[in-house]
Amino acid sequence: MLLQIAKLGHPILRRIAEPLTLDELHDPDISRLIDDMIATMRDHEGIGLAAPQVFVTKRILIVELRPSPRTPGTPSLPLKVMLNPEITIRSADTIPVWEGCLSVDNLRGLVRRPSAITVHYSDRQGDERTLDLDGLAAVIVQHEMDHLDGQLFLDRMDDMTRLAHQREFERFWQTALPQLVD
Ligand code: ZN
């Protein structure tokens, strides 16, 4: 089932999401929610989605980077479902990415984030996982993690002159920098 996306200004996007309990890790309702999140992300051609974006304040995020002929050189990351994720920054280096968000229609903003992270999480089976991520994959997980803490990419921008409507982004700002929509 495709889910409605919460949009900028809805208070649910500003709440701190609750951790999943052990029981919830194996709850069929949560499993159905995750399936619906995956379908919704793919339907929007997004590369990530966090539960608060579908009006559920639980610490669930999904990411999936697919190779695309339109964006050669983009790394791929097979679908990951991360429950109760925690991030450790592994590098002081940052990378600039023009981010977008399914909850912030039609806008893109330039954000700098650490380029390498380690993420610990439980998978759908409840098994503990650790994953080292670099580059765009690291950025997406940080963007989704922010949603679990009531933050949006707009809050991470340090130069608001680098906020653009999608159409003007394509006209004036589109460069070799990686883009991101989630
Ligand atoms: Zn987002």
- Helix H, strand E, coil C: the string for 118-175 is EEEEECCCCCEEEEEEEHHHHHHHHHHHHHHCCCCHHHHCCCHHHEEEHHHHHHHHCC
| CA 72 – CA 104 distance, rounded (Å) | 25
What digits encode the pLDDT tens for the residues 13-54? Answer: 999 999 999 999 999 999 999 999 999 999 999 999 999 999
The structural domains of the chain, ordered by start, are 11-180 (3.90.45.10)
Is residue 144 among the annotated active site residues? yes
Q: Which of 24, 144, 168, 170 is catalytic?
A: 144
pTM of the predicted protein model: 0.94
| Separation of CA 70 and ligand 1 centre (Å) | 21
What's the chain's average pLDDT?
A: 93
Could you tell me the CA-to-CA distances from 136 to 3, 57, 74 in Å, in that order? 26, 25, 8
What are residue 52's phi and psi, to 5 degrees? Answer: -60, -25
Could you tell me the CA-to-CA distances from 62 to 29, 51, 76, 94, 161 in Å, in that order? 16, 9, 14, 23, 30
Indicate the residue type of 89.
I
- The pLDDT of 151-158, averaged and rounded, is 98
Structural Rg of the chain based on CA atoms: 16
What is the pLDDT at residue 4?
98
SS3 86: strand
| Separation of CA 52 and ligand 1 centre (Å) | 10
| Separation of CA 143 and ligand 1 centre (Å) | 6
What is the pLDDT at residue 176?
61
> pLDDT class for 10, splitting at 50, 70, 90?
very high
The percent of residues above 70 in pLDDT, for the chain, comes to: 93
| Separation of CA 182 and ligand 1 centre (Å) | 5
What is the pLDDT at residue 177?
67
The percent of residues above 90 in pLDDT, for the chain, comes to: 87
> pLDDT class for 3, splitting at 50, 70, 90?
very high
What digits encode the pLDDT tens for the residues 64-112? Answer: 998 766 556 677 899 999 999 999 999 989 999 999 999 999 999 999 9
| CA 90 – CA 147 distance, rounded (Å) | 21
What are residue 22's phi and psi, to 5 degrees? Answer: -55, -40
